[in-house]
A and B are shown apart, each in its own frame.
Chain A
Amino acid sequence: MTLITTDLLLEATGVSKTYGAVVALKSASLAVRPGEVHALLGANGAGKSTLVKILTGAVRPDGGRIAVRGRERTAHSPAEARRGGLVSVYQEPALIPDLDIRSNLRLTETPVEPFRHWLHELGLGDLDLSSMARRVPLASLRIIDLARALAIEPDVLMLDEMTAALPANLTERVLEVVASHRGGNRSIVFISHRLIEIGAVCDRATVLREGETVGIVDVTQGSEERIVELMLGEIVEHLPAVAKRTAASARTADARPRLATRHVSAGTKLQDVSFELYPGEVLGVVALEGQGQDELFDILAGSDRPDGGELLVDGRSVSFRHPADAIRAGLVYVAADRAEALLMQRSVRENIALPFTTRLARWGLIDLGGERERVDGAVARLQIDARAGNEVRRLSGGNQQKVTIARWVAGGVRTMLCFDPTRGIDIRTKNQIYVLLRDLAEAGAAVLLYTSELREVQLVCDRAIVIFGGRVVAEIEAAAADETALLRAAYNLKSDAVIPEMVVSEALAGGDGERRSDDGNGPAAVATDGEPAADAPAHPGRSPAGGATPEGER
C-alpha cells in the first residue's frame, strides 16, 4: 500500500464539461492506483456518468487533463480509449441485439478463450455463444458485457452500476471477481449506489458533488458516515415555512385518500408498493436510481399495467388500460424528460391544448375561443415566456417544463404525478414550480413528487416515502426529512448505525437461506427469486422510453 503511491495508473485532474447552460462537471479529478478497486460515488446528477463517459472517450471534455500510466492522453472515441487501456461497462447493455454472442465478440475483437474463462468465473459458464443477444435475459447480458470487458484485459475497468440489475447469486460472483483484482497491476473503478458493496470490495472512494471532486476516502469500517457527509456537502440551505405548511395541511383523521396503492408489483423492479396520497398534500417519493420508481409512475399514469396489487382512486378500485383512463380518473403525469412529453415542432397553444382537447368526448370543432382563454390563463399562471411560441423546441428547458405542467393546470388538476419535474432547469424556474405545486395542494389537489434533489422534499413536500429495491422502506415527515435522513433511508441504512460487519459478509455470502433475517429489505432483495431476471426488455404496451431509464445525470 505504501510503496505504490507514486505511479498512478489513471489520473484525471480538473475535468470539466458543460452542455449549453448546464454544468455537468465543474472540476472533477480521479486518481487510481494500480491494483486497487476504486469507488466513484455521488448523489444523482453529481457527474459520475459524465466523468466515466469522458474517460472512455464517449464524450469530449471542455477542459482538464487525463493521464494513463503517466502519459497524457485524450481519447476521442471509445475504441481509442480501449487501445489506451480504459474500458467501461455501461449501465445499458452494449450488445447488438440482432447478432449472436459470437458475432458480438467478433465485432469488438474480443478473444473468445479469455471471454469463456471469465464467463465461467462469473457463473455463466453454460452460455450458448450462438444465441441471439436479444433472447438473452438482461442480467446475463450485463454479465456478458463484463466478461467481454475483462477478456480485453484493460488497465482500468470502469463498472457503472454493474450490480443494479443482477440477482443475488450473480452479484456475489461479480463482487468476487472485482475483489480478485485487488493487489494486481490492473485496477477497477466501481460505481454503485449500494454502500454495502463499496465497503465490501473497494479500497478507496472518490466522492463527487455537483460536478466537483469533494473528497477521497480510504474505505474502512465506518467510512460510510464520511462518504454520506461528503455527498451531501454542507447543509445550510434555507428551508422556508416548513412549520406553517404542515399546520395548514394537517389532514383530518377520516379524510379519504385521493390515490392509494396496495401491494403493487411489476416485473422484477417493483416488488410491493403501498402508500396513500391525500388531497391537499404533496407526497415526496425518494429513491436511488432504478429502484422501481419509473415503473411505479408508469403504472400510476396508465402507461403500463401492474402484475399484481390494487390501485384505488377516491376509494374505488381502478385499472388503467391507457393514459387516457388515468387522465379521466384525474391522474396527470409530468415527466422529467420534456422530449417525452412535448410535441417539439408544434406551438405552445397546441401543446397545452392537447390533453384537455383530446379529453373532450365529442369529435366536433374545437371551441378556439374557449381554448385560447384557458391556454392564456395557464400561460399567465405559470409565467411562461411564450415569445418563441410557434415551436416549443425553441423555448428554454425551464419554459418547456412549464408548458408540460401548464397543460394539466389548464384543465384543472385533481392529482398530479410529477417525475423529477425540476431536472436540469434553472433555479428561478424551479422556485416557480415549487410555489405552483404548493398552491395546487392548498387548492385541494393531491401531488405525488418523485425528486432526485433531496432538498426539494423539505421545500415542497408534507411527507415522503422512500423506495428501495421495489419496496417502500420508509416514510418520513417533512420536518424530519433532512437530506441526511433521506439519503440514509434511500440507501436503506438503519438510522444512526454503521453498517454491521454481519450484513456485509452476508451480502458477500449471499446464500438464499442466509437472508431470512433481513426481512427482504437487504441489498440482495432486488431479485428474490435467485434466478437471472428473465424480464424481456420490451414490455407489451410499454413506452419505449419507460423502462430502465438511463441514469438521470446530465
Chain B
Amino acid sequence: MTAATAPVDARLARATVILGSAVRRNIWTIALLALLVVLLLSAKVIQPRYGFIAIQGLGTSVLPLGLAAVAQAIVVIGGGIDLSIGSMMALTSVVAATAMTGQNEETGVVVVLGVLLLGLVLGGINGALVVTTRVPDIVVTLAMSFVWAGFALLVRAAPGGEAAQWLKDLAVGPLGNQWVPKAAVVMLLIVAIVWIPVARSKLGLSIYAIGSNSLAAFRSGVPVGRTRFLAYALTGLFAALAGLSLTASTGIGTPVPGPYTLESVAAVVLGGVSLAGGRGGVFGPIVAVVVLQMIRTDMTFLNIDSNLAIVAQGVILIGVLMSASLLEFRRTRR
C-alpha cells in the first residue's frame, strides 16, 4: 500500500462508517419505505390502470393525516401525548374557511398566518395546562379535545365556508412531473422549513432529552417545563397546518373532528416513534401514514370488504410492532 492511497482508504472507511451508522439509525424508516414500494407495486399488479392520477390523489388524501402525524410525533418524542389534535384541526379548519369566505386572495395569506398563530396558541394552552396542573397529559388533552371541538361548532355549526384559490391549488395536482404530487412536495417543504431547524437547535435536543429521561435532562440543566410547553405549542402549530390542509383539499371547513387523533397515534407508533418518548423522528410517521393509506387502497382493489379492511389494518399494526420488538429483544440479548 502506498502513502498516497492510505488517506483515501481512510476517508472511504470513514464514509462507510458514517453511512452505515446513518442506515442503522434510520433502519425503521428505510424498512417502511421498502414496504411502501411493495404496496405500490402490488397496487399496479392488481390494478394495471393504477397510475399518476392515483398517485396525485394519494398525495392529496394523506396530506392532513401526514401533518397530524408529525404533530403527534413531536409531542410523543418529548414523552407526552396529545389527544386534542383532531379537534384542533377541526377548529383551525373552520376558522380558516369562515375567515376566508368572500375575501380576496391576499387576505387569504393573512388568514393563513393568523390560523397558524392560533394553532401555536391552542397547543401552548395544552402545554401550559399539562406543565402547571401536573394532571396527566392524556387527561388534559382529552378534556381539551372537547373544548376545542365545542369551539369549532360554535364557529360554524355545519360544514361550509370557502378557501382561497391559491390554498386549494397547493394541495391538488402535480408539480412539474405528473408523477410528483404537489401535496407531497408541500408537506416535505413544511417539515423541512419548520421541523429540521427545530431538531437541530437546543430546543430539539431538549425535547428528545425530556422524552428520553426527564430526570437526567433536569440534572443536565434542561428547563423541563418550558421545553414540554414548547413541544405542545409546536404540536399545535402542526395541527393548524393539518387543519389548513383539510380546508385546502376540501375547499370548506368541517367542524366535526375526523378520526385523525387516534390515526395519528397509530402512524406515530408504526413510524418508529417510541410511546415512551425519546426515540424516533417525524419522517417515519409520514411514511407510515402513506403505508396505512396504501394498505387500504390495495384491499379495495382486492375487493375485500371495507369493514374487514379496517380489521386487517389493526392486525397489521400489532403484527408489525410485535415483530419489531421481537427483533429488538434478540438484538439486545446478544
Q: Which A residues are closer than 8 A to B by beta carbons?
A: 301, 303, 322-324, 326-328, 333, 335, 339-346, 350, 353-355, 357-360, 362-366, 368, 389-390, 407, 543-545
Q: Are A358 and B278 in contact (CB under 8 A)?
A: no
Question: In the complex, what distance in Å separates the CA atom of A471 from the CA atom of B245?
Answer: 64
Q: Are A341 and B219 in contact (CB under 8 A)?
A: yes
Q: Are B212 and A345 in contact (CB under 8 A)?
A: yes
Q: A178 CB to closest chain B CB, in angstroms?
A: 37
Which of B213, B219, B223 touches A301 (beta carbons < 8 Å)? B219
Inter-chain contacts of A345 with B (CB < 8 A): 212, 274, 278-279
Q: A376 CB to closest chain B CB, in angstroms?
A: 13
Q: Are B205 and A342 in contact (CB under 8 A)?
A: no
Question: In the complex, what distance in Å separates the CA atom of A323 from the CA atom of B225?
Answer: 13
Q: B222 CB to closest chain A CB, in angstroms?
A: 5
Question: In the complex, what distance in Å separates the CA atom of A109 from the CA atom of B59?
Answer: 63
Which of A358, A363, A389, A544 touches B220 (beta carbons < 8 Å)? A358
- Residue B16 lies at the interface, judged by CB distance under 8 Å to chain A: no
Question: In the complex, what distance in Å separates the CA atom of A155 from the CA atom of B256?
Answer: 67
Inter-chain contacts of B203 with A (CB < 8 A): 363
Among A323, A326, A358, A390, the one with the most B-chain Cβ atoms within 10 Å of its Cβ is A358
Inter-chain contacts of A344 with B (CB < 8 A): 212-213
- Residue B24 lies at the interface, judged by CB distance under 8 Å to chain A: yes
Given contacts A343-B212, A358-B202, contact A322 B223 (CB under 8 A): yes
Inter-chain contacts of A358 with B (CB < 8 A): 202, 205-206, 209, 220-223
Q: Are B219 and A335 in contact (CB under 8 A)?
A: yes
Q: Are B222 and A324 in contact (CB under 8 A)?
A: yes
Q: Interface residue count for B (Cβ, 8 Å)?
A: 26
Given contacts A350-B205, A544-B215, contact A355 B220 (CB under 8 A): yes
- Chain A residue nearest to B223 (CB atoms) is A324
Q: B176 CB to closest chain A CB, in angstroms?
A: 30
- Chain A residue nearest to B21 (CB atoms) is A390
- Residue B200 lies at the interface, judged by CB distance under 8 Å to chain A: yes
Given contacts A343-B213, A344-B212, A344-B213, contact A366 B218 (CB under 8 A): no
- Chain A residue nearest to B224 (CB atoms) is A322
Q: B324 CB to closest chain A CB, in angstroms?
A: 15
Inter-chain contacts of A362 with B (CB < 8 A): 202
- Chain A residue nearest to B213 (CB atoms) is A343
Q: Are B274 and A354 in contact (CB under 8 A)?
A: no
Question: In the complex, what distance in Å separates the CA atom of A346 from the CA atom of B25?
Answer: 10
Inter-chain contacts of B209 with A (CB < 8 A): 343, 346, 350, 354, 358
Inter-chain contacts of B206 with A (CB < 8 A): 358
Q: A349 CB to closest chain B CB, in angstroms?
A: 10
Majority SS at the chain B contact face = helix
Question: In the complex, what distance in Å separates the CA atom of A328 from the CA atom of B197?
Answer: 26
Q: B224 CB to closest chain A CB, in angstroms?
A: 9
- Chain A residue nearest to B216 (CB atoms) is A341
- Residue B177 lies at the interface, judged by CB distance under 8 Å to chain A: no
Question: In the complex, what distance in Å separates the CA atom of A368 from the CA atom of B201?
Answer: 10
Inter-chain contacts of A323 with B (CB < 8 A): 218-221
Q: Are B21 and A340 in contact (CB under 8 A)?
A: no
Question: In the complex, what distance in Å separates the CA atom of A363 from the CA atom of B215?
Answer: 22
- Residue B153 lies at the interface, judged by CB distance under 8 Å to chain A: no
Inter-chain contacts of A301 with B (CB < 8 A): 219
- Residue B217 lies at the interface, judged by CB distance under 8 Å to chain A: yes
Q: B313 CB to closest chain A CB, in angstroms?
A: 28
Question: In the complex, what distance in Å separates the CA atom of A360 from the CA atom of B201?
Answer: 11
- Residue B208 lies at the interface, judged by CB distance under 8 Å to chain A: yes
Q: Are B213 and A342 in contact (CB under 8 A)?
A: yes
In order of increasing CB-CB distance, the 6 nearest A-B pairs are: A343-B212, A324-B221, A327-B221, A355-B220, A345-B279, A354-B220
Q: B193 CB to closest chain A CB, in angstroms?
A: 13
Inter-chain contacts of A365 with B (CB < 8 A): 197, 200-201
Q: Are B212 and A346 in contact (CB under 8 A)?
A: yes
Question: In the complex, what distance in Å separates the CA atom of A26 from the CA atom of B264?
Answer: 52
Inter-chain contacts of B279 with A (CB < 8 A): 345
Given contacts A344-B212, A346-B212, contact A354 B200 (CB under 8 A): no
Among A341, A342, A354, A362, the one with the most B-chain Cβ atoms within 10 Å of its Cβ is A354
Q: Are A343 and B216 in contact (CB under 8 A)?
A: yes
Q: Are B221 and A322 in contact (CB under 8 A)?
A: yes
Q: A-facing mask of B182-211, CB < 8 A → 1, else 0? A: 000000000000000100111101101100
Pull 21 A–B residue pairs with CB atoms less than 8 Å apart, ordered by A.
A322-B223, A327-B220, A335-B219, A341-B220, A342-B213, A343-B208, A343-B212, A343-B213, A345-B274, A346-B209, A350-B208, A350-B209, A354-B205, A354-B209, A355-B220, A358-B220, A362-B202, A363-B201, A363-B202, A363-B203, A543-B219
Q: A303 CB to closest chain B CB, in angstroms?
A: 6
- Chain A residue nearest to B220 (CB atoms) is A355
- Chain B residue nearest to A361 (CB atoms) is B202
Q: Are A342 and B197 in contact (CB under 8 A)?
A: no
- Chain A residue nearest to B280 (CB atoms) is A345
Q: Are B217 and A354 in contact (CB under 8 A)?
A: yes
- Chain B residue nearest to A404 (CB atoms) is B216
Question: In the complex, what distance in Å separates the CA atom of A406 from the CA atom of B200?
Answer: 21
Q: Are B24 and A407 in contact (CB under 8 A)?
A: no
Q: Are A366 and B221 in contact (CB under 8 A)?
A: no
Q: A68 CB to closest chain B CB, in angstroms?
A: 35
